[in-house]
């Protein structure tokens, strides 16, 4: 069965410093993986997706993620955090019945 | 603008009073689904639909009904709401298998007293 594990429930960074949100996945086949962001009182917005093309995936707002099969990881990064990046981030995998399997979420705090 | 529209955004109701949360998408997506989000439990799938007249249970279907009479609409029906259905609900849609990503609605915050 497919699953994702987000390794940090909270991450705190200073504005202008790099962001790293960690995600490991478990899948019996080549997975489709996503990162979604949820701002307070808002819906879920797709940041980026990996669907077995390039292993380095670029998304919106300067985010990117690298698919590493040997490490079963799909970590989300951004070179320089902005105050508007403060939100909850979800790593997601699709299972064989096309259901989204969500990680438990990582809350990103950006300090001024 | 391509979007998934849910209504209402907020709803407070009493136990046992039937309600419907509407969901509509304008992207001609085949696949639609409902999720609920609860603190400590994350997002869990309630029901999904692979196309018109095709629906199936997700992980937490008890107490909910859905229908898919038209491709664009996928309403969530609570026949007799109970306080344990107090939650944040999201509708989502995607092309075919969903591997290109889902589009989510803005959410419906439901409180059952």
Task: Report, in angstroms and rounded to the nearest whole number, the Rg of chain A calculated over CA atoms.
Answer: 13
| Residue A98 confidence class, pLDDT cut points 50, 70, 90 | confident
Count of pairs with CB atoms under 8 A, one residue in A, one in B: 49
Q: Model confidence over A39-87: pLDDT tens digits? A: 987 889 999 999 877 889 999 999 999 999 999 999 999 999 999 999 9
Q: Does A105 touch chain B (CB under 8 A)?
A: yes
Cα B93 from Cα B48, distance rounded (Å): 9
Cβ contacts (< 8 Å) between B50 and chain A: which residues?
98
Q: Model confidence over B52-110: pLDDT tens digits? A: 999 999 999 999 999 999 999 999 999 999 999 999 999 999 987 777 789 999 999 99
| DSSP states of B58-93 | -S--TT-EE--SSSSB--EEESS--GGG-EEEEEEE
| DSSP states of B27-55 | S--SEEEEEEEETTTEEEEEEEEEETTEE
- What are the backbone angles phi and psi of residue A98, rounded to the nearest 5°? 70, 15
pLDDT at B9 over 80: yes
Residue of B23, B42, B51, B106 to mutate, interface with A, max A Cβ within 10 Å:
B42
């Amino acid at each position: 069965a497919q699953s994702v594990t987000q390794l940090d429930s909270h991450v705190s960074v200073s504005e202008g410093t790099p962001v790293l949100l960690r995600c490991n996945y478990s899948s019996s086949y080549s997975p489709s993986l996503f990162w979604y962001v949820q701002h307070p009182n808002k819906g879920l917005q797709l940041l980026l997706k990996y669907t077995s093309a390039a292993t380095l995936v670029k998304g919106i707002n300067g985010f990117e993620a690298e698919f590493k099969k040997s490490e079963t990881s799909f970590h989300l990064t951004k070179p320089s955090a902005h105050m508007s990046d403060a939100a909850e981030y979800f790593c997601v995998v699709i299972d064989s019945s096309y259901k989204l399997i969500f990680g438990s979420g990582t809350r990103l705090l950006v300090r001024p | 603008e391509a979007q998934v529209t849910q209504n209402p955004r907020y709803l407070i109701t009493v136990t046992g009073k039937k309600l419907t949360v509407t969901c509509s998408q304008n992207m001609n997506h085949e696949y639609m689904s409902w999720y609920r989000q609860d603190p400590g439990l994350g997002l869990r799938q309630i029901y999904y639909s692979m196309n018109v007249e095709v629906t199936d249970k997700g992980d937490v279907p008890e107490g909910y009904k859905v229908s898919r009479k038209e491709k664009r609409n996928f309403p969530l029906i609570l026949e007799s709401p109970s306080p344990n259905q107090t939650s944040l609900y999201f509708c989502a849609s995607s092309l075919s298998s969903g591997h290109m990503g889902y589009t989510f609605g803005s959410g419906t915050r439901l409180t059952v007293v």
